[in-house]
Amino acid sequence: MKLKDFSIGDEFLCGNKRWRCTDIGSRVVVAICLEPHVVTRLKINGQKRVMQTEISDNSSWFNGPPYAVVEIVFDEYDMDDCSVAP
């Protein structure tokens, strides 16, 4: 894909993952990954610390901005590996 092929809010594929375009710059595209995310929580109970890890597919994380998931920058080299989502 080329920069002109992206639109904010549209989905695309890259690296076997589904992404949503959140911003377009003059040379880059910013997007969030729509795949399930690994969530790690640290619970502190007195002196005891417990880490809990789980997979979350909570769709509310994709509402924004701001987003609950990290936004990733795709440059011109990354865009070559992207394709339009069906």
User: What's the pLDDT at 30?
Assistant: 98
Rounded mean pLDDT, 23-29: 97
Structural domain containing residue 43: 3-84
Contact by Cβ (8 Å): 34, 83: no
Rounded mean pLDDT, 39-43: 87
Element housing 23 (H / E): strand 17-24
User: What's the pLDDT at 54?
Assistant: 87
Helix (H, G, I), strand (E, B) or coil at 73: strand
Q: Is 32 exposed, middle or buried (0-12, 13-18, 19+ CB in 10 A)?
A: buried
User: What's the pLDDT at 22?
Assistant: 97
Number of domains within the chain: 1
Rounded mean pLDDT, 29-40: 92
Give the tokens for residue 53: 């890890």
Q: What is the reported pTM?
A: 0.82
Rounded mean pLDDT, 55-70: 87
Rounded mean pLDDT, 1-28: 96
